[in-house]
Amino acid sequence: MDNQNTVGVQFKAMKVLHIVLCAGVVIILSIMRYLVKQQAPVDHAQDNMAFEIIGVAVAFICMLASRFLFLTRASAAVNIPALSEKIAAYRGALILQLALLEGPAIINTIFYFLTKNDLHFFIAIGLLLFMIWARPTRLMAANLLFNSLEDRQQIYDDNLQL
């Protein structure tokens, strides 16, 4: 009974994964911020504009791509008949979305450490906020995975076996 494969267990696992990925970015950002603030102030007159362009471009492209790919992959699960496969497709789309947000956040954190430019820090904070906003919810899963209201009720039944 401890290792049941139910809807509730699947959503708890997705929520734990979401929290861990967000916490990883928070820890990395905090460490880099601490390290940068411990160093002597840097004159930003010789900033490398290439880092700024790359940081902004990667963040923007990955942010758009993450949402687009999440909605595309999760919406494709409407045609899958089995609930377990629908939830697996939603989980895969969620992991892809979070990975596409986490990558540029870490890249901008590294750029922040290298250049000491606060722009990269705030880009990473913005991507972290998008990661937090992209948390797995049953409402989103129900809207993306099902067409009828009766079928959507399956997502809210914690004890439903997959």
- What is the tally of structural domains in the chain? 1
The verdict on residue 102 lying in a domain is yes
Q: What is the pLDDT of residues 134-158, one digit of tens each?
A: 999 999 999 998 888 878 888 888 8
Which of 99, 130, 105 lies closest to 120 in space, CA to CA? 105
Domain enclosing residue 65, as ranges:
7-39+49-156
On whether the pTM is more than 0.85, the answer is yes
Q: Model confidence at 1, in pLDDT bands (50, 70, 90)? A: very low
Tokens at residue 90, please? 């939603």
pLDDT, mean over the chain: 90
Q: What is the pLDDT of residues 7-47, one digit of tens each?
A: 999 999 999 999 999 999 999 999 999 999 998 776 665 66
The verdict on residue 28 lying in a domain is yes
The verdict on residue 2 lying in a domain is no
Q: What is the pLDDT of residues 81-127, one digit of tens each?
A: 888 999 999 999 999 999 999 999 999 999 999 888 899 999 999 99
The verdict on residue 162 lying in a domain is no
Query: 74: how many CB neighbours lie within 10 A of its CB?
Result: 23
DSSP character string of the chain: -TT--BHHHHHHHHHHHHHHHHHHHHHHHHHHHHHHHHSPP--GGG--HHHHHHHHHHHHHHHHHHHHHHHHHHHGGGG---HHHHHHHHHHHHHHHHHHHHHHHHHHHHHHHHH--HHHHHHHHHHHHHHHHT---HHHHHHHH-SSHHHHGGGG-TT-B-
Over range 131-136, report the average pLDDT: 95
The verdict on residue 11 lying in a domain is yes
